[in-house]
Structure 1
Amino acid sequence: MAWVHMDSAALGDSVLDLYERDGVYMIRVDGWELMNGEYHESEDRLGELAAQLARRPDPDILVGGLGLGFTLASLHRHLGAAGRVTVAELSEAVIRWFDRHTKPRTLGDHPFRIRQGDVLAVAAEGSAEGPAFDVILLDVDNGPEPLSAAGNAALYGADGLGTLRQALKADGILMVWSAFEDPEFVGRARSAGFSPASLPVFRPGRAEPFHLVYVLSASPFRPGELDRFGLQPL
């Protein structure tokens, strides 16, 4: 069965397109696949790991990028009733599509707040009175370079990483979903004061990693933490 085009929306100089096939959704940006509901192992693992890595039992978590909602659903599934989750989504259309079409059934009735806007601005606003978040997840592009919007480049530069670190509590975690390795990004993260590690994500039946998650700790990792979560120090 072919994908059926559902809607289009502008995002800066880019165009987002929503497709549906047999109840599964996909979003493309300028013709490039950005996210596909048929494959969400990385998003599932991202939400699970964020809930596990939060170093407080009732964490404040900021998610950059709503997408199809799989990261959010996984996060709530593993948090249970704990914590407070804010999602920053740049595109009004993606929020509208989520409300009308793409919201995963597994999300249930868990409470969360969606803010339309730049996650960097939301992070800076949240830290105006001091570090605000235990975990910040960036799931807005295919890795630490802009794809969905040109302005996202600021997220992965030295200034953006500095802003995100200031928004984190002293032992907070920044997580970045990526389809590729980026040693230069790791170097910038280290210069911003993060302790960097990565988690390879595997698709069932495949020997090679499908994607990876950069895990950047605002403080040194605790003894045994890397091994417990399968993280690879960088």
Structure 2
Amino acid sequence: MKLLLISDIHANKIALDRTLTVPHDRIICLGDLVDYGPMPVECIDAIKDLKIPTIRGNHDNAVAYRIDCGCGYEYKNLSISSREYTWQHLDQEHIHFLKNLPLNLKENIDGHRLYFTHGSPVSMYNYIKPDTPVNEIEKMIEGIDSDFLFIGHSHIPFVRKVKNTTIINPGSVGQPRDGDIRASCAVFDTVSCETEIIRLQYDIKGIYRLIRDKNMPDQDQLIDILKRGY
């Protein structure tokens, strides 16, 4: 099975549509459908209509429950201002959908134990990055009893093995933070257990225009992040 992994869409429906063109048998989303981008309604509706299994990310949680997102200081002001914009556009059905997203999924496919979550098995707020010390990761994955752990949250794509667990982050669809402005996703082959990180060009200027046209707060900062890829 070709499993398409997407994460951290952040209300960028144009980038989401581009990633969905990647050949796949099934899709799983690792969370953060909302905040930062101009199209929260469209992204939630697409995920619902396609019935894509989706994890609740920290931004989904913040929007749904009106609490802090727990994100880093560098982007905190933008998460707060764009969340106000998001609340103005979502209805109660969208909020209900976000509230009821699961914190993790566990599946056994082709004899492999797969675990899907947003930040880490311990918390949606935990960051696991390519350079996170092994001893810190070991604490966060202790007891999950899975061969493969799929995460998002850091917006940085990577594949890394810690003890007997291979950790896979597909990167961010709509808000890359690794210096590459292209949309990021991954395809995991459940038979060969090989992972391909995929980067895709999309109409990024279209998102710039929507940020302006919809009069989002902090427009210049939001656009600059997309232009830099971090």
TM-score range normalised by the length of the shorter chain:
0.3 to 0.5
Higher strand share: 1
Q: RCO (CA 8 Å, sep 6+): is it higher in 1 or 2?
A: 2
With structure 2 as the length reference, what TM-score do the two structures score?
Answer: 0.37
